[in-house]
Amino acid sequence: MTNDVQERRGFRASDLSMLAGKKGSLKEFGILGALVVIVVAFQIATEGTTLSSNNLINIIQSQSYILILAVGMVMVIIAGHIDLSVGSVAAFVGVVVAIAMNDWGLPWFVTILIGLGLGVLVGAWQGFWVAFIGVPAFIVTLAGMLMFRGLNQIIGQSRGIPVDREFVNLLAGYLPEVGPFTGYNNLTLLLGALAVVAVVVLELRGRAKRVRLGAAVPPMWVAVTRLALVAIVIIAAALLFASGREGTSFPNAGILFVLIALAYAFVTRNTSLGRHVYAVGGNRRAAELSGVRSRWVDFFVMANMSVLASVAGMLWIARAQASGPADGGGWELDAIAAVFIGGAAVAGGIGTVAGSIIGGLVMAVLTNGLFAIGVGSDWIPVIKGLVLLIAVAIDVINKQQGRFSFIGLMLRGLRRGRSNDLS
Amino acid sequence: MKKTAIVALAGIAAVTVALSGCGRTEPGAEGGDDAAGFAADASIGVALPDRTSENWVLAGDLFENGLEEAGFEGDVQYAGSSNAVGDQQQQIQQMIDSGVEVIVIGAADTNQLATQLEAADAAGITVIAYDRLIQNSDLVDYYVAFDNFHVGELQAQSLLEGLEEKFPGEEPWNVELFSGSSDDSNSAVFFDGAMSILQPAIDDGTINVVSGQTTVQQTATEDWAAENAQNRMDTIITSSYQGVELHGVLSPNDNLARAIIASATGAGFPVPVVTGQDSEVASVESIVAGEQYSTIYKDTRALVAAAIDMVSELQAGEEVTTTGESDNGAVEVPANLLEPVIVTQENAAEAYAENPDLEPLTQP
Amino acid sequence: MEQARPTILSMRHITKEFPGVRALDDVSLEVATGTIHAICGENGAGKSTLMKVLSGVYPHGSFDGEIVYRGERVAFSRINDSERAGIVIIHQELALIPELSIAENIFLGNEPRGVLGIDWDTVRGRSRELLARVGLDEDPDTQIKNIGVGKQQLVEIAKALEKDVRLLILDEPTAALNEGDSQHLLDLLVGLRSKGVTSIMISHKLNEIEAVSDAITIIRDGKAIETLDIRDGAVDEDRIIRGMVGRTLGNRFPDRAGHAGEVFFEVRDWTVQHPLTAERLVAKQSSFTVRRGEVVGFAGLMGAGRTELAMSIFGRQYGTWLGGTIVKDGKEIQLRSVSEAIANGIAYVSEDRKALGLNLLDSIKRSIVSAKLGKIARGGVVDALAEAKVAEEYRQALRIKAPTVEMGVDTLSGGNQQKVVLSKWMFTDPDLLILDEPTRGIDVGAKTEIYQIVRELADAGKGVILISSELPELLGLADRIYTIFEGRITGEIRAADADQETLMRRMAPTKGDAA
């Protein structure tokens, strides 16, 4: 190994943090920790149901559309806007797609294109008002929330409109069973294996490139341990998802979500476009004076959100096998909550795709687990509301004093008490 | 370095082995017919829509107690109010996964549960649609409800009787029509039942719908929300009842009836003849006091009891009691339809005699 | 009166720690009654922390040491406590509410009550008296947003006087003021001193300190280095600088290379209209030239139109363009947007680092490459390695004081932030850099470094436009200076032939003559 020169030998406690990844993703690490705690707690409370194959599949099937919305929403929020219309847009696109299939008799793949096209049009409409007229996104999308909800009910005449079986099988179905009987869904296992290979290859290639260019690399043992941890998680997930009921696999909707999440994580982290979104949200005027076309950034994030909302809408009508007048109710709030639990800032400029997905999963697992242990639906919003509040509060406290610690908080309280005694 | 790699590989191998125990068994082992009956202490899932009406809360309590008394293990779940359909889908899937034998579904949306019914079918679970008939699916095994078409007929009859009683000889009576939420398949059934009586009266000029709004879409009340009914009534009064008397209103349920009465009296009209349904406490008081004209008594106790009887029959492998069949668009679903009772000031005491909550209200 | 003036304030052995940092390390400070006491030190030395300790922003108990004020030990747990005791702090960022009137601001939170709510007659009457005391000739009903920064500063002092101030703390009071306003403010402090009000003034402007203060305490790296009595005139600027940076700085301004090249950038008849008021022109037929390797100074009072001129050239980022042409390398060019300006090799370092120059949420690395991402991106994908490499080069070349380029720019001192901004624009490979007040709010050490960078840029053949309110800076750094008054270029002079007086006369022709 010729690159040993680059490699620091020996172990330091600080190296452990490198396991988390390159950048100071301490925040995401924190939320991930919270997710793990919640999962473990429910796993115990439900006596093993939470991490059962069927339940994991259920969670992915019932949340992938919200998670996709969260991916778009985090970009909107980073750019300093908000989108309240996503649920209504999803419902609007859903009803048109259903009608195209059911009443007009168009083949399902054509209707998917219609749905995406409609998402683009709606997005361009909302983006136009936000970016080029300067109406605050809150207002534009509040209007959109009302308009597209109404349009859904006008177009669908508030009926339930069924969709084609092929459409359902594609977007709400599962991978087929192929190959010999192994006790697992073979394609899911294959996907898991491919994911492990991809992760290893990417990591090693990146490392080789850094070494070639003379950049610092973390010690090899860190890389290997990190890869091993990731591989373990992927393999465990693949085995679990592959062993659900006969005919199930990692859901198609989940595959679509993973692809979307990877693509957007890449865009936000590694592209000029992503940088521009952060720049506009962080300091709009400074970004403009650095040559960023802020209006087009606004237009892009708003339009993109509506396209993703159309995807979510189509996933939903596939899962429900019909569109309906109440589709998408409250989705915007779920997506926004996921983004803020994931560490985004209300003022814009801060947030990550990964964080938002973890935030969305926190909410998803919470809902699922509370259902499973029979907590009433009246209490669930109360608990979710508190979780949102506490997550953001910890974030705020963090910012005020460097790093959050309960010990620090208590010491501060003690000091204050002492000073009051003196004065 | 090498050591780390070995440890890492060992870790991966360990997890793989540990989890590989949980693979599936050979296919074809499960499924099959539900005619044979099942264990007497089996779990029974009950998925109800959101908790925003008294009736559903009461039904939930009755199911919990009733199933327990019958020896079953009941798993009663309500959907949340914001994303009710999504919640319900997830809850039904969880019930299927936890191995219930029967699922009783009060659907949050009668069109959007097909995927879950398929999963239930695959797992050999019997599905009973409770109160609301799940549409366009051939996988609904039974339906238990009040005869909703008859509910509409009874409402229309009582409206005509009330008009005759309060405004004799003033024909044509000016009447407005309200129907329920359009995402509830019952709404149209109520309305159709009522129109089967009212349409002849409109045609022969006995009653006059001044606003001209007589279709189920025009008269719909989204989400069954009182607020929406009140807004619509306000708007109609402003646009169509300037200097015109309002004699009666067809209201599909009590909550909307009270909102309609509030709107009419707020606009300075005397209380019109207003129908209702559900026998909610406030409306029963109103009927006894002579304001709201009528309501429908659909005894939730009787309906829940009928559903639980059905479960017991299934458990024992007996033939399930039905009174007929209901068309859900895909198939004729075997149904047990109970008879509703119309209640006015006159027969209130008699109708509620058996009901511990409502009976005291009818005593002067 | 000469000797043994009573001490109004003595802070003894103050130590204040933040997680991982000791911001103040056993600092002691004695302030005599009826004096103006200056506190100097580089940015981050601990001056502001010390004042926050004094005023109760950091409550008693959150630091070690004791504070004796007017003979008594005090323990302020919030800022109201210190204000009640007559200590008023005026921050650099003014705490006035723009939509309220002068009078309302003066009495905010302290409104005199009448039978029917606030007694507005008293408010206006008292305001008028207070405004007269601070020498501000404005109607008390004028909204704050309609008066300039200099006058706002005076309103702050009036507000302090209303609270019966005994010890007035001013944090860089003249940083945002032009010469005239600064002078007025300093005169006011001297006047207050004669009425028995003690002032503590944090300032970077050594000439001002020399002119008005009685004593000066120098803080460096969280420690009080020394207190100098400067009334007898034995202390000069170099002496103070030596205390602040711990060494003698050589010539503060680098030597000029001497010969500039040919004219490569020319603006002709540039006319720009105010964005809101159509009849107001912020640039009137302005024409000027820049040579390669030349530093061209722009001198003018605040509001003369220097920034407006620069920003309107830089991709029309200010006002409405009415006419005029830009010629670069013999060809007329159109700069309709910032991207076009950057593409044509123009860079603009704005006067307001935090609001316009940086995204404070970004790291050093990401800030440096932000104005020309295309240089390190292929097909829209940023090359993270190239980015880190570029940033590291600039960190070393410009001596940005930060352990790594991953650090957030919000953690840097003003001088280092400015170096990041300079790096960001140097990264765009500009031919012409417009530097708008590049040393505002920056300590002496960093200033010298920035002067050095500016000179190096010019020596490398770039054209530099330097806009500055500090005349010594212009005289020391520029080769040629244009003066601007009310949007019009009033003169052009070789720096070698100019002094402060000649510049002032051209910057304020009518006022200068009247005074």
Q: What is the DSSP string of A138-179?
A: HHHHHHHHHHHHHHHHHHHTT--EE--HHHHHHHH--PPP-S
Residue C24 three-state SS:
strand
Residue A417 has a pLDDT of 41
Determine the Cα angle at A21 with ends A19 and A22, to 5°: 125
Q: Which candidate from C338, C361, C362 shows the least CB-CB separation from A288?
A: C338
Q: Reply yes or no on whether the pLDDT at A331 is more than 90.
A: yes
* CB distance B360 to B354 below 8 Å: no
CA B272 to chain centroid: 27
Q: Do B89 and A319 touch (CB under 8 A)?
A: yes
Nearest residue to A384 (alpha-carbon basis) of A366, A396, A401: A366
Percent of the residues in chain C that have a pLDDT greater than 70, as a whole number: 94
Q: Do A272 and C380 touch (CB under 8 A)?
A: yes
B337 phi and psi, to 5 degrees?
Answer: -105, 120
Q: Reply yes or no on whether the pLDDT at A295 is more than 90.
A: yes
Residue B20 has a pLDDT of 66
Q: Which candidate from A272, A350, A401 shows the least CB-CB separation from C361?
A: A350
Q: Which residues of B, range 5-24, sit inside 8 Å of A by Cβ?
A: 5, 7-9, 11-12, 15-16, 19-20, 22-24
Q: Do A286 and C381 touch (CB under 8 A)?
A: no
A269 phi and psi, to 5 degrees?
Answer: -90, -35
Find, in chain B, the residue whose alpha carbon is nearest to that of A61: B90
Find, in chain B, the residue whose alpha carbon is nearest to that of A160: B111
Find, in chain B, the residue whose alpha carbon is nearest to that of A153: B182
Query: A147: buried, middle or exposed (CB in 10 Å: 19+, 13-18, 0-12)?
Result: middle
CA distance linking residue A98 with residue A111, whole number of Å = 8
At residue A326 the predicted structure's pLDDT band, cuts being 50, 70 and 90, is confident
Q: How does strand B294-297 pair with strand B341-344?
A: antiparallel
Residue B278 forms contact with A (CB below 8 Å): no
pLDDT (tens digit per residue) in C50-94? 888 898 888 888 888 999 998 889 888 888 888 888 898 888 777
**CB proximity list for B207: less than 8 A, separation 6 or greater:** B160, B163, B171, B172, B173, B174, B175, B198, B201, B248
pLDDT (tens digit per residue) in C90-142? 887 777 888 888 888 888 877 777 777 777 888 888 888 888 888 888 888 88
Q: Which residues of B, range 295-354, sit inside 8 Å of A by Cβ?
A: none
Which amino acid belongs to residue C427? F
Find, in chain A, the residue whose alpha carbon is nearest to that of C389: A215
Helix axes A220-242, A186-212, angle to 10 degrees: 170
pLDDT (tens digit per residue) in C445-478? 888 889 999 999 999 999 999 999 888 888 889 9
E-assigned strand segments in B68-180: 73-78, 102-105, 126-130, 142-146, 173-177
Residue B214 has a pLDDT of 92
* CB distance B47 to B88 below 8 Å: yes
What's the average model confidence in pLDDT over C30-49? Answer: 84
Q: How far apart are the first and last CA of chain A?
A: 66
C320 phi and psi, to 5 degrees?
Answer: -115, 125
**CB proximity list for C211: less than 8 A, separation 6 or greater:** C186
Q: Where are the alpha helices (DSSP H) in A342-375?
A: 353-372
Q: Which candidate from A209, A278, A291 shows the least CB-CB separation from C385?
A: A209
Nearest residue to B300 (alpha-carbon basis) of B95, B113, B137, B59: B59
Q: Do C381 and A278 touch (CB under 8 A)?
A: no
B53–chain A nearest CA distance, Å: 13
Q: Which residues of A touch B50 (CB under 8 A)?
A: 377
pLDDT (tens digit per residue) in A224-280? 888 898 999 999 999 999 988 888 899 999 999 999 999 999 999 999 999 999 999
Q: Which residues of C touch A418 (CB under 8 A)?
A: 61
Which residues does residue C272 pair with via DSSP β-bridges, in sequence order? C283, C321
Query: C334: buried, middle or exposed (CB in 10 Å: 19+, 13-18, 0-12)?
Result: exposed
Q: Which candidate from B15, B77, B82 shows the least CB-CB separation from A232?
A: B15
Alpha-carbon distance values, C139 to A314, C131, C180, C187 (Å) = 64, 9, 21, 22
Residue A285 three-state SS:
helix
CA distance linking residue B294 with residue A105, whole number of Å = 46
At residue C182 the predicted structure's pLDDT band, cuts being 50, 70 and 90, is confident
- Give the long-range contacts of residues C508-515, CB within 8 A, separation 24 or more: C508/C180, C508/C301, C509/C485, C511/C180
Q: Where are the alpha helices (DSSP H) in C260-401?
A: 306-313, 338-343, 364-368, 384-397
- Length of chain C counted residue by residue: 515
What's the average model confidence in pLDDT over C178-206? Answer: 86
Find, in chain A, the residue whose alpha carbon is nearest to that of B25: A183
Q: Do C358 and A349 touch (CB under 8 A)?
A: no
Which amino acid belongs to residue B165? E
- Length of chain B counted residue by residue: 364
Residue C299 three-state SS:
strand
Find, in chain B, the residue whose alpha carbon is nearest to that of A241: B23
Sign of CA dihedral A215, A216, A217, A219: positive
* CB distance A389 to A370 below 8 Å: no
- Length of chain A counted residue by residue: 423
Q: For residues B8, B13, B18 and B23, what is the CA-based torsion angle, rounded to 10 degrees?
A: 140
Q: Which residues of C touch A416 (CB under 8 A)?
A: 59, 61
* CB distance C508 to C488 below 8 Å: no
At residue A379 the predicted structure's pLDDT band, cuts being 50, 70 and 90, is confident
Q: Which residues of B, range 80-139, sit inside 8 Å of A by Cβ?
A: 80-87, 89-91, 93-94, 97-98, 108-115, 119, 122-123, 135-136
Q: Do A221 and B1 touch (CB under 8 A)?
A: yes
Q: Which residues of C touch A415 (CB under 8 A)?
A: 61-62
Q: Give helix then strand counts, H and E, for chain C.
A: 17, 24
Q: pLDDT per position in chain B (364 positions), as tens?
A: 577 777 777 777 777 777 666 667 554 444 444 446 888 889 999 999 887 777 788 899 999 999 999 999 999 999 887 788 999 999 999 999 888 999 999 998 888 998 999 999 999 999 999 988 898 889 999 999 998 899 999 999 999 999 999 999 888 999 999 999 877 778 888 999 999 999 999 999 999 999 999 998 889 998 888 888 999 999 999 988 988 999 999 999 999 999 999 999 988 899 999 999 988 889 999 999 999 999 999 888 899 999 999 999 999 988 888 898 988 888 999 999 998 999 999 999 988 988 888 888 888 6
Q: Report the 10 Å Cβ neighbour count for B71.
A: 12
Residue C198 three-state SS:
strand
Nearest residue to C383 (alpha-carbon basis) of B168, A206, A184: A206
Cis peptide before B172 (omega within 30 of 0): yes
- Give the long-range contacts of residues B204-208, CB within 8 A, separation 24 or more: B205/B171, B205/B172, B206/B160, B206/B171, B206/B172, B206/B173, B207/B160, B207/B163, B207/B171, B207/B172, B207/B173, B207/B174, B207/B175, B207/B248, B208/B172, B208/B173, B208/B174, B208/B175
CA distance linking residue C263 with residue C432, whole number of Å = 12
- Decide if the complex's ipTM is over 0.85: no
CA distance linking residue C225 with residue C243, whole number of Å = 7
Residue C325 three-state SS:
strand
Q: Which candidate from A285, A290, A418 shows the least CB-CB separation from C371?
A: A290
Q: Do A23 and C59 touch (CB under 8 A)?
A: no
Q: Which residues of A touch C361 (CB under 8 A)?
A: 278, 282-283, 349-350
Chains that touch B (3 or more CB pairs under 8 A): A
Q: Do A378 and B4 touch (CB under 8 A)?
A: no
Q: Report the 10 Å Cβ neighbour count for A231.
A: 22
DSSP-assigned letter for residue A345: -
Residue B78 forms contact with A (CB below 8 Å): yes
Q: Which candidate from A153, A324, A376 shows the least CB-CB separation from B111?
A: A324
B346 phi and psi, to 5 degrees?
Answer: -60, -50
Q: How does strand C480-485 pair with strand C488-494?
A: antiparallel
Q: Reply yes or no on whether the pLDDT at A340 is more than 90.
A: yes
Q: Report the 10 Å Cβ neighbour count for A329.
A: 21
DSSP-assigned letter for residue B340: P
CA distance linking residue A51 with residue A38, whole number of Å = 12
* CB distance C240 to C40 below 8 Å: yes
Q: Do A62 and B51 touch (CB under 8 A)?
A: no
Count how many Cα atoms sit within 13 Å of the Cα of residue C508 in the half-sphere of its side chain. 14
**CB proximity list for A11: less than 8 A, separation 6 or greater:** none
Residue A240 forms contact with B (CB below 8 Å): yes
DSSP-assigned letter for residue B289: T
CA distance linking residue C90 with residue C110, whole number of Å = 17
Q: Which candidate from A272, A285, A349 shows the least CB-CB separation from C377?
A: A272
Least confident among A375-384, C229-238, C391-400: C229-238
Q: Reply yes or no on whether the pLDDT at C167 is more than 50.
A: yes
Q: Which residues of A, range 340-369, sit inside 8 Å of B by Cβ?
A: 367-368
Q: Do A232 and B84 touch (CB under 8 A)?
A: no
Q: Report the 10 Å Cβ neighbour count for A14.
A: 7
Q: How does strand C64-69 pair with strand C72-74?
A: antiparallel
Nearest residue to C373 (alpha-carbon basis) of C337, C419, C424: C424
Find, in chain B, the residue whose alpha carbon is nearest to that of A374: B77
Which residues does residue C270 pair with via DSSP β-bridges, in sequence order? C286
Q: Which residues of A touch B134 (CB under 8 A)?
A: none
CA distance linking residue B123 with residue C27, whole number of Å = 78
